[in-house]
């Protein structure tokens, strides 16, 4: 007979999760997300999971929660705006961390690694929608609609959900019982994780799907199952992924040579000149710097200069600019998503000549919003999740190891993803807070010496 807890899981938790998870990467669904958030929060509070076990495993998370409140109360310059920013952003990080931990802790021990498949499919739903709309669009125009985003407003939304889906699905692929039907089905689902961001022309999205697969495979070979797999099979597996990465890049290059080619040359210009002067005075400041070094402005160089305004060069230049601005604002600017805009406007004594909404670096943007200590603490929170995942990965417990792999990979890959884009904001911040807390909660629930029972 199913227990009351299992009935709750089946009737409330899983349906709400299957609704919530896709909404994180489908536009104009804020109300739906927060309805799910409220219902899940009520459910986990009613069933009283053992919070002590969870926060004992990640004490830094509690310290970070406290820091957010201290920074809000004592280091804000505009309290009304700061409280508004807290409610819109960091409050949801706290709530989704609590919800994720609660759902994880309440997960019955007998639940198998099919939970990973369930999560992978849920995160893939926006990709299914995108591919269906891409097919319809392609039929209408009679060709492949490269760069088409469907209902999404930025291609990053497809890349972010594809990354998390790939982590869950590939982990499930490695650890599921040796069923060829399950393996073939999972491979098909993983192909979708590649095709959607590739068709949307999301280079980072496509690249990080492959990076996640390669990282998980290497962790599986050299940390989890190193002694059971021959060196020959390790080399074959690694080379196969590298060949697939090369193939995907060639497809992207043929579909849009200007976007996929010459990335390094454009990025390299982002390291030239003084970023503050360039953003305040305009691209002419960088041209003067290059000419003073004897550089001739060729068409290729001009493309690189254009990318400083809106392109690959802007990612490096904006990160450099934001990093220098953190020195002037070490305790952050009112927990604001617009912290970089406010800081650069102040530096320029008015609107900058080149407008960039954020630095394209999650860690720099976070430091500008909640201060350097806040960004460091959040990094330490993710490192702690990564450490707990690695410990579970090496625990040699079949019921725990797959979830340890998923946690280890998720924490590390989101740390790295943050170096290339501002992913610690809006729905991405909520999603990461939930996923990481959920996985650690499941690990605790499935580990006998940690599990203290559920009070319900």
Q: Assess contact for 347 and 325: CB atoms under 8 A.
A: yes
Angle between helices 231-255 and 203-219 in degrees, nearest 10: 180
87-96, 180-189, 198-207, 280-289: segment of lowest average pLDDT: 280-289
Q: What is the pLDDT of residues 6-46, one digit of tens each?
A: 666 667 778 899 999 999 999 999 999 999 999 999 989 98
What DSSP designation does 224 have? I
pLDDT in tens, 320-347: 999 999 999 999 999 999 999 999 999 9
CA distances from 14 to 11, 119, 189, 267 (A): 7, 10, 20, 43
Is the predicted pLDDT of residue 55 greater than 80, yes or no?
yes
Residue 185, pLDDT score: 94
Residue-by-residue DSSP string for 293-340: TT----HHHHHHHHHHHHSHHHHHHHHHHHHHHHHH-TT-STT-TTHH
Query: Which of 106, 91, 94 lies closest to 16, judged by CA?
Result: 106
Distance CA 328, CA 323 (A): 10
Which residue did the predictor score with more confidence, 150 or 255? 150
For the chain, what is the mean pLDDT? 89
What tokens were used for 127?
A: 């990709």
SS3 206: helix
Q: Is the pLDDT of residue 305 over 70?
A: yes
Residue 85 in this model has a pLDDT that exceeds 50:
yes
Residue that the structure tokens 């299914």 belong to: 128
Instruction: Report yes or no: 105 and 441 within 8 Å, Cβ to Cβ.
Output: yes
Burial category of 73 from C-beta neighbours within 10 Å (exposed 0-12, middle 13-18, buried 19 and up): exposed
Rounded Cα gap, residues 297 and 292, in angstroms: 11
Average pLDDT over residues 283-310: 82
Measured between its terminal Cα atoms, the distance across the chain in Å is: 17
Distance between CA atoms of residues 52 and 184, nearest Å: 41
* Contact between residue 234 and residue 199 where contact means Cβ atoms under 8 Å apart: no
Instruction: Yes or no: say if 335 and 76 are a contact pair by the CB < 8 Å rule.
Output: yes
Q: Which of 453, 439, 450 is nearest to 100 (CA)?
A: 439
Q: Where are the domains of the chain?
A: 4-258+371-446, 263-370
Other Cβ atoms within 10 Å of 438 Cβ, number: 27
Checking if the pLDDT of 453 tops 50, the result is: no
Closest C-alpha among 439, 435, 331 to residue 377:
331
pLDDT of residue 454 exceeding 50, the answer is: no
Residue 2, pLDDT score: 56
Question: Taking Cα atoms as reference points, which of 325, 289, 326, 294 lies closest to residue 308?
Answer: 289
In the chain, DSSP finds a helix count (H) and a strand count (E) of 23, 0
The answer to whether residue 107 scores a pLDDT higher than 90 is: no
Token couple for 389: 């995942």
Q: Within its chain, how far is the Cα of 314 from the centroid? A: 20
- Do the Cβ atoms of 108 and 5 come closer than 8 Å? yes
């Amino acid at each position: 007979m199913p227990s009351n807890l299992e009935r709750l899981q089946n009737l409330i938790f899983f349906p709400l999760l299957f609704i919530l998870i896709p909404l994180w990467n489908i536009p104009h669904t804020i109300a739906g997300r927060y309805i799910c958030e409220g219902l899940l929060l009520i459910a986990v509070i009613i069933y009283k999971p053992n919070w002590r076990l969870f926060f004992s495993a990640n004490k830094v998370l509690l310290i970070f929660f406290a820091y957010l409140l201290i920074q809000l109360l004592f280091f804000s310059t505009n309290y009304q705006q700061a409280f508004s920013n807290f409610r819109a952003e960091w409050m949801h990080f706290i709530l989704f961390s609590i919800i994720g931990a609660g759902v994880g802790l309440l997960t019955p021990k007998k639940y198998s690694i099919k939970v990973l498949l369930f999560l992978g499919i849920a995160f893939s739903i926006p990709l299914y929608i995108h591919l269906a709309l891409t097919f319809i669009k392609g039929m209408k125009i009679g060709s492949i609609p490269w760069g088409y985003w469907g209902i999404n407003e930025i291609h990053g939304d497809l890349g972010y959900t594809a990354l998390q889906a790939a982590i869950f699905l590939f982990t499930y692929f490695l650890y599921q019982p040796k069923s060829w039907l399950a393996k073939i089905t999972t491979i098909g689902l993983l192909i979708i994780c590649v095709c959607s961001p590739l068709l949307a022309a999301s280079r980072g999205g496509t690249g990080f799907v492959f990076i996640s697969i390669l990282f998980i495979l290497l962790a599986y070979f050299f940390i989890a199952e190193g002694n059971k797999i021959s060196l020959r099979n390790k080399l074959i597996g690694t080379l196969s992924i590298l060949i697939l990465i090369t193939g995907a890049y060639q497809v992207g290059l043929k579909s849009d040579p200007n976007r996929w080619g010459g990335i390094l040359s454009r990025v390299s210009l982002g390291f030239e000149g003084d970023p503050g002067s360039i953003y305040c005075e305009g691209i002419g400041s960088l041209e003067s710097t290059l000419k003073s070094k004897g550089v001739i402005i060729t068409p290729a160089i001009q493309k690189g200069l254009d990318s400083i305004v809106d392109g690959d060069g802007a990612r490096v230049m904006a990160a450099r600019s934001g990093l220098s601005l953190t020195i002037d604002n070490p305790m952050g600017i009112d927990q604001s998503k617009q912290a970089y805009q406010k800081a650069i406007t102040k530096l320029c004594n008015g609107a900058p000549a080149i407008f960039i909404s954020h630095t394209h670096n999650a860690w720099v943007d976070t430091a500008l919003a909640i201060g350097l200590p806040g960004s460091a603490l959040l990094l330490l929170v993710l490192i702690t999740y990564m450490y707990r995942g690695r410990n579970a990965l090496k625990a040699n417990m079949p019921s725990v190891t797959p979830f340890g792999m998923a946690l280890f990979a998720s924490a590390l890959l989101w740390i790295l993803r943050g170096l290339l884009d501002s992913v610690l904001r809006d729905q991405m911040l909520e999603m990461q807070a939930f996923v990481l807390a959920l996985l650690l909660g499941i690990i605790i629930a499935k580990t006998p010496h940690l599990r203290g029972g559920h009070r319900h």
